[in-house]
C-alpha cells in the first residue's frame, strides 16, 4: 500500500468526503468570521492577549495560532514533540506575510490543516468500516457520520488544536493495521517507525496506541530485535532528539524573555499582578481536584473528582452531546466542572448509546481488531478516569477514543439477521440525525452570537 494509494480518495468515498468537507469549511469559516478583524491583526506583539481574550471553546488551546503568529511557545513540547516542528515553517511564512501585507494569516493556515486532517479522518474511518470490517456502503456511511456528529469529535474539526490531527493519524493507523490483520500480514518495522513517529510526535500517548496496534498485528514477532529497535526505540529517540533541540534552541531563550517581561510588569504594578494571580489561582483551586502528589507527574493526576458524575456528565455526556448551559465554556475560566442537561431526552440518548456500546462489546469481543481498539480504550480509561489526568475537561480528549463506539455498532450490524439489522440501522440513522442537528445547531448558535 503506497502513500499515494492511502491518500487517494476513491470513487465511492467522494460524496461523503465532499459533503463533510463543505461542513468543515463552513464551521471553520464561522469560527474565523466570529472575530475576523481581531484574529487577522498584523501586530508584531500582543498575540497572546489577542487570541486568549477572544477565543474560548471548551478548553481547547489556541497555542498554534500564537506560535504561527509570533513564535511564542505555550504548549508542552515534551508531550507534543513534533508539533512545534510542524508549526515552525508556517511561522516563517506568516512572519514574511505580516511584514509584506500587514495581515496575520495564522488562522487561515491552521484552518487549512484542520480541514485537511478532518477530511482524511473521515476517509480513513470510512475505510475501516467499509474495507476492514466489510460493512455495506450505507452502514459505513452512517457510522462515519455518527462518529463526526459526536460533540467533541465535531468541535476539534474547527478549533486550532492538535486533536483532529491526532484523530487522522490514529484513524490511518487503524486502517493500515486493520488491513494487515485482515490479510494475515505483519506490520513492518519501518512501517511501525513511521506510524509511531507521527502519532507519538503529535501526542505522546498516541505512541502507546500505535505500539499496541503493532503488538496485536504481529503477535510474538513484535518482540524481534529488528522490530523493537527500528519500530519502537528509534522513533522515540528521534522524537526526543527533535524535542530537546527545539527546547534549547527556542524554548530556553523564550523563557528568559518571558521571565524578564513578567519582572518588568511586576515592577510597574505589583498589586495588580498579585491580585490577578490570586484570582486566577483561587479559580483553578476551586475547579481542580486534589492532586496525587507534589511531583511533576503527581500534580497532573486528580484523585478527588467524582468518577461516577464524570462518566455521566462529561465522559459519555459532554463528549457526545453538548450541555445547553455553559455552552462551550472553559472550565479554566468560566465553566463548572459538572453541568447537568436541561432536557431529560439528553440522558435518554446517552443511556441508549452507552447500552448499545456495551452490547457491541459483547458482540465484538472475539474479534482481534476490536480487542486492539479495546486495549486503546482501556489506556484512555486508565489515564483519564483511574489516574485522573485531565479529568476536569476529559471531554476534549474524545477524538482519541470515541471511534470505538461506532466500530462496536458495526460489529452488531454484521451479525444481525435482515429484519433486526434494518431496525438497528434506523436507530443509528435517528441518532446520527439527532446529534448532527443538536450539536451542529448549538455550535453554529455559539459562533454566530
What distance in Å separates the CA atoms of residue 436 and residue 214, rounded to the nearest whole number? 34
What dihedral angle (degrees, nearest 10) is formed by the CA atoms of 110, 114, 120, 125? 160
Rounded to 5°, angle at Cα 155 from 154 and 157: 70
Q: pLDDT digits over 63-87, tens only?
A: 999 999 988 888 888 889 999 999 9
269-283: average pLDDT: 62
Dig out the grid coordinates for 255 from the structure.
Answer: 523563557
Query: 69-78, 199-208, 273-282: lowest mean pLDDT where?
Result: 273-282
Q: pLDDT digits over 333-369, tens only?
A: 889 999 999 999 999 999 999 999 999 999 998 899 9
**Which string of b and e fits 195-230 if b means at least 16 CB within 10 Å?**
bbbbbbbbbbbbbbbbbbbbbbbbeeebeeeebeeb
The SS3 assignment for 20 reads: helix
Q: Are 302 and 391 in contact (CB under 8 A)?
A: yes
What distance in Å separates the CA atoms of residue 404 and residue 165, rounded to the nearest whole number? 18
What distance in Å separates the CA atoms of residue 143 and residue 360, rounded to the nearest whole number? 13
**DSSP tag of 385:** I
What pLDDT shows up at residue 76? 85
Q: pLDDT digits over 320-336, tens only?
A: 999 999 999 999 888 99
The residue extents of the domains of the chain are 307-448
| CB-based contacts of 390, cutoff 8 Å, min separation 6 | 384, 396, 397
- What angle do helix axes 163-183 and 106-127 make, rounded to 10 degrees? 20
What pTM was computed for the model? Answer: 0.94
What pLDDT shows up at residue 278? 64
What pLDDT shows up at residue 302? 77
Amino acid at each position: 500500500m503506497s502513500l499515494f494509494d492511502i491518500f487517494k480518495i476513491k470513487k465511492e468515498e467522494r460524496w461523503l468526503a465532499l459533503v463533510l468537507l463543505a461542513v468543515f469549511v463552513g464551521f471553520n469559516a464561522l469560527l474565523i468570521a466570529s472575530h475576523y478583524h481581531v484574529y487577522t491583526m498584523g501586530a508584531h506583539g500582543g498575540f497572546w492577549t489577542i487570541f486568549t481574550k477572544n477565543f474560548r471553546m471548551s478548553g481547547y488551546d489556541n497555542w498554534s495560532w500564537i506560535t504561527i503568529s509570533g513564535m511564542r511557545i505555550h504548549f508542552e513540547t515534551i508531550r507534543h514533540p513534533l508539533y512545534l516542528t510542524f508549526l515552525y515553517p508556517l511561522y516563517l511564512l506568516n512572519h514574511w506575510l505580516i511584514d509584506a501585507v500587514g495581515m496575520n494569516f495564522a488562522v487561515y493556515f491552521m484552518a487549512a490543516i484542520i480541514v485537511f486532517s478532518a477530511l482524511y479522518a473521515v476517509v480513513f474511518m470510512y475505510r475501516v468500516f467499509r474495507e476492514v470490517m466489510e460493512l455495506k456502503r450505507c452502514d459505513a456511511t452512517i457510522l462515519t457520520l455518527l462518529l463526526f456528529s459526536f460533540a467533541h469529535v465535531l468541535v476539534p474539526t474547527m478549533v486550532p488544536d492538535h486533536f483532529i490531527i491526532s484523530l487522522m493519524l490514529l484513524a490511518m493507523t487503524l486502517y493500515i493495521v486493520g488491513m494487515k490483520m485482515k490479510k494475515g500480514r505483519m506490520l513492518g518495522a519501518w512501517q511501525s517507525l513511521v506510524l509511531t513517529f507521527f502519532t507519538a510526535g503529535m501526542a505522546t500517548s498516541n505512541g502507546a496506541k500505535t505500539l499496541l496496534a503493532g503488538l496485536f498485528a504481529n503477535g510474538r514477532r513484535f518482540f524481534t530485535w529488528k522490530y523493537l529497535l527500528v519500530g519502537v526505540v528509534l522513533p522515540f529517540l528521534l522524537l526526543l532528539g527533535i524535542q530537546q533541540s527545539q527546547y534549547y534552541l527556542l524554548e530556553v531563550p523564550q523563557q528568559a524573555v518571558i521571565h524578564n517581561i513578567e519582572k518588568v510588569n511586576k515592577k510597574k504594578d505589583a498589586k495588580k499582578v498579585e491580585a490577578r494571580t490570586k484570582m486566577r489561582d483561587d479559580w483553578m483551586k476551586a475547579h481542580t481536584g486534589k492532586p496525587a502528589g507534589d511531583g511533576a507527574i503527581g500534580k497532573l493526576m486528580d484523585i478527588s473528582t467524582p468518577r461516577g458524575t464524570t462518566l455521566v456528565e462529561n465522559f459519555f455526556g459532554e463528549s457526545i452531546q453538548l450541555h445547553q448551559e455553559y455552552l462551550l465554556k472553559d472550565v479554566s475560566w468560566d465553566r463548572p466542572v459538572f453541568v447537568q442537561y436541561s432536557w431529560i431526552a439528553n440522558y435518554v440518548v446517552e443511556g441508549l448509546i452507552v447500552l448499545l456500546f456495551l452490547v457491541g462489546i459483547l458482540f465484538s469481543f472475539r474479534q482481534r481488531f476490536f480487542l486492539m481498539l479495546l486495549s486503546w480504550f482501556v489506556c484512555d480509561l486508565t489515564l483519564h478516569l483511574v489516574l485522573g489526568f485531565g479529568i476536569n475537561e476529559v471531554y476534549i480528549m474524545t477524538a482519541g477514543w470515541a471511534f470505538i463506539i461506532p466500530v462496536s455498532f458495526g460489529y452488531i450490524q454484521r451479525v444481525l439477521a435482515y429484519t433486526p439489522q434494518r431496525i438497528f440501522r434506523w436507530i443509528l440513522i435517528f441518532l446520527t440525525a439527532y446529534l448532527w442537528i443538536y450539536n451542529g445547531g448549538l455550535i453554529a448558535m455559539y459562533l454566530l452570537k
